């Protein structure tokens, strides 16, 4: 079972947040996820573009109003000068803010946690990758779903060769919340996601296609060689895509198919990953995250369930409750933070960033940059009527 640090005592690490003001979606989830581990506490923020709204959030969180700022620039500058400066920043505003905000804090030597998609384009993503190395800062990108114990089990099964050589990947992330023009009926999340100024060059691929790309890479380690994408905009008058079909070949010769949709009526957060190898297959669904289906050639199908003794150490290490008590999205999110805070604490004690072992495993700026490369490749292919394009390669150096 997972071990919390500092239970009952005051959390040692401190953080500030950009975004997460009144009525926002993911910002409060970050705070709840961090609080579950009791490793870090919030001390500052710029939660909204509106200072009064920021203060409203700060009062709810019992934050000193002197540490509530009117912009991320002011926050980076002023927090950097404090003796009790925070340890890391959480960037949870809309996509267009990620790059400039993360860059400002890296330049002041803060560790960074940033939402996906990492940036608006690959040049920005590469700059963040380079800067985080130069400044020797930890940089987590919150691909939430990698924090589920049964995803860790899936990864363990694939990486330990249980499925044999991977041949096929079939993955999807289907939603229906943009099936109508939600952006015109006051839905703030829909407004910026469908506007290229705030979302970037893609809505559907950037918002949820990146989760598919990351999940498949996280579990299998497969590198995409080429892809062919068809992006559609089904809702009239919308300027970005709301559905994508993508075919892929991987460097090992495997084939893949991804479907991302925000207009699939009846679907909520239907991230499903199916991986087929020469000896076995696995299937995992985000909406039923405590189970993992395992098929081995010639054997009856098995359903592995979180919290049981037969699971691998990586899956067990992220489990908080006994089997049968469901864990979900908050716990998965919290697991990423738990590992990030362990890595940060070790870094502060030893001054070394690498290597990060299982207990410090989280998706990082390299994963974020790969996601941006994927978005650009999909848009490029779709503009060429689905022509096969070579995948953008992102290297760590
Ligand atoms: N990891 C995941 O699973 C996941 C899930 C949802 C959203 N996200 C990502 O999180 C980000 C935010 O998404 P959301 O749905 O929470 O958006 P949202 O619109 O609900 O919230 C955005 C917040 O940012 C604030 N904000 C906007 N401009 C600001 C500025 N200049 N300074 C300070 N704050 C500012 C807004 O006031 C709001 O509080 C997006 O990049 C999205 O892709 C990730």
Dihedral, CA atoms, 285, 291, 296, 300, nearest 10 degrees?
Answer: -120
Element (H, E) at 294: strand 291-296
Going from the Cα of 215 to the center of ligand 1, the distance in angstroms, rounded, reads 21
Report the pLDDT value the prediction gives residue 4, as an integer from 0 to 100.
42
**Which letter does DSSP use for residue 142 in this model?**
-
Q: 154 CA to middle of ligand 1, Å?
A: 29
- Torsion region of 63: left, alpha or beta (phi above 0 gives left; psi -120 to 50 gives alpha): beta
**Among 28, 98, 115, 367, which residue has the most ligand 1 atoms within 8 Å of its CB, making it the best to mutate?**
115
CA-closest candidate to residue 44, choices 17, 10, 26: 17
Please state, in angstroms and as integers, the Cα–Cα distance from residue 63 to each residue in 52, 81, 90, 98, following that order.
14, 18, 15, 23
What percentage of residues in the chain have a pLDDT greater than 70? 97
Q: What is the mean pLDDT of residues 29-35?
A: 98
Q: Contact, 250 vs 224, CB < 8 A?
A: yes
Report whether residue 310 contacts ligand 1, using a CB cutoff of 6 Å: no
For 247-267, give the DSSP string.
Answer: EEEETTS-EEEEEEES--TT-
* Ligand 1 center–CA 110 separation, angstroms: 20
pLDDT band at 2 (very low <50, low <70, confident <90, very high): low
Tell me whether residue 230 is exposed, middle or buried, using C-beta atoms within 10 angstroms of its C-beta: 0 to 12, 13 to 18, 19 or more. middle
Task: Verify whether ligand 1 is closer than 6 Å to residue 392 (CB atom).
Answer: no
Q: pLDDT tens for residues 188-239?
A: 999 999 999 999 999 999 999 999 999 999 999 999 999 999 999 999 999 9
Sorting pLDDT into bands at 50, 70 and 90, what band is 364? very high
Cα 93 to ligand 1 centre (Å): 3
Cα 25 to ligand 1 centre (Å): 7
Average pLDDT over residues 19-41: 97
For ligand 1, atom 19: residue with the closest CA: 189
| Closest-lying ligand 1 atom to the alpha carbon of residue 192 | 19
Given ligand 1 and candidates 20, 22, 23, 24, which is best to mutate, with the most ligand atoms within 8 Å of its CB? 24
**∠ Cα 392 285 162 (to 5°):** 75
Average pLDDT for the chain: 96
**142 touches ligand 1 (CB under 6 Å):** yes
* Closest C-alpha among 160, 155, 130 to residue 145: 155
Question: What pLDDT is recorded for position 308?
Answer: 98
221: left (phi over 0), alpha (psi -120 to 50) or beta: left
Q: What is the pLDDT of residue 5?
A: 39
pLDDT at residue 11, rounded to an integer: 66
Separation of 359 CA from ligand 1 center, angstroms?
A: 28
d(CA 299, CA 213): 30
Q: Are 128 and 134 in contact (CB under 8 A)?
A: no
pLDDT of residue 397: 66
In order of start, what are the domains of the chain with their CATH numbers? 13-145+336-364 (3.40.50.720), 148-320+368-390 (3.30.360.10)
Q: What does the block give as tokens for 309?
A: 């003794």
Q: Does ligand 1 have an atom closer than 6 angstroms to the CB of 54?
A: no
pLDDT per position as a tens digit, 138-190: 999 999 999 999 999 999 999 999 999 999 999 999 999 999 999 999 999 99
Q: How far apart are CA 34 and CA 182, in angstroms?
A: 31
Atom nearest to 71 CA in ligand 1 = 32
Tokens representing 269 are 């957060």
Kindly report the pTM of this predicted structure: 0.97
Q: How confident is the model at residue 395 (pLDDT cuts 50, 70, 90)?
A: confident
How many angstroms is it from 9 CA to the middle of ligand 1? 31
Asked if pLDDT for residue 55 goes beyond 80, the answer is: yes
In whole angstroms, give the CA distance from residue 189 to residue 152: 30
Q: Residue 319: pLDDT above 60?
A: yes
Ligand 1 centre distance from Cα of residue 223 (Å): 29
Which of 260, 283, 138 is CA-nearest to residue 206?
260
Measured from the CB, is residue 190 less than 6 Å from ligand 1?
Answer: no
As a dihedral over the C-alpha atoms of residue 134, residue 91, residue 222, residue 170, rounded to 10 degrees, the angle is -170
Question: CB of 24 closer than 6 A to ligand 1?
Answer: yes
């Amino acid at each position: 079972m997972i071990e919390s640090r500092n239970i009952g005592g005051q959390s040692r690490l401190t953080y500030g947040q950009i975004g997460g003001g009144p009525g926002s979606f993911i910002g409060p989830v970050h705070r709840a996820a961090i609080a579950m581990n009791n490793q870090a506490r919030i001390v500052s923020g710029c939660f909204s573009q509106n200072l009064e709204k920021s203060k409203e959030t700060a009062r709810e969180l019992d934050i000193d109003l002197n540490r509530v700022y009117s912009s991320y620039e002011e926050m980076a500058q002023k927090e950097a000068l404090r003796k009790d400066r925070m340890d890391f920043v959480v960037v949870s505003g809309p996509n267009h803010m990620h790059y400039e905000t993360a860059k400002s804090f890296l330049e002041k030597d803060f560790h960074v946690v940033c939402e996906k998609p990492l940036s608006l384009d690959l040049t920005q993503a590469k700059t963040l990758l380079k800067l985080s190395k130069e400044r020797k800062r930890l940089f987590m990108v919150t691909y939430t779903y990698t924090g589920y114990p049964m995803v860790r089990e899936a990864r363990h099964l694939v990486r330990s060769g249980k499925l044999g050589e991977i041949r096929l990947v079939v993955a999807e992330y289907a939603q229906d919340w943009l099936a109508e023009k939600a952006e015109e009926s006051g839905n703030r999340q829909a407004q910026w996601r469908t506007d290229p100024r705030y979302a970037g060059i893609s809505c559907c691929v950037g918002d949820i296609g990146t989760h598919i790309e990351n999940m498949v890479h996280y579990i299998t380690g497969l590198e995409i060689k080429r892809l062919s994408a068809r992006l559609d905009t089904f809702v009239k008058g919308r300027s970005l895509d709301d559905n994508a079909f993508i075919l892929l070949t991987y460097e090992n010769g495997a084939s893949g198919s991804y479907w991302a949709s925000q207009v699939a009526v009846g679907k909520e957060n239907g991230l499903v990953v199916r991986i087929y190898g020469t000896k076995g297959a696995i299937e995992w669904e985000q909406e039923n995250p405590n189970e993992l289906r395992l098929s081995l050639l010639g054997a009856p199908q098995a359903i592995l369930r979180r919290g049981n003794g037969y699971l691998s150490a990586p899956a067990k290490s992220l489990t908080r409750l006994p089997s049968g008590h469901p864990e979900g999205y908050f716990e998965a999110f919290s697991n990423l933070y738990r590992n990030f805070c362990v890595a940060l604490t070790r870094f502060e004690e030893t001054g070394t960033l690498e290597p990060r072992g299982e207990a410090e495993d989280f998706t990082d700026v390299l994963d974020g940059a790969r996601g941006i490369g994927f978005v650009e490749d999909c848009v490029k292919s779709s503009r060429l009527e689905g022509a096969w394009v070579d995948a953008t390669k992102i290297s760590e150096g």
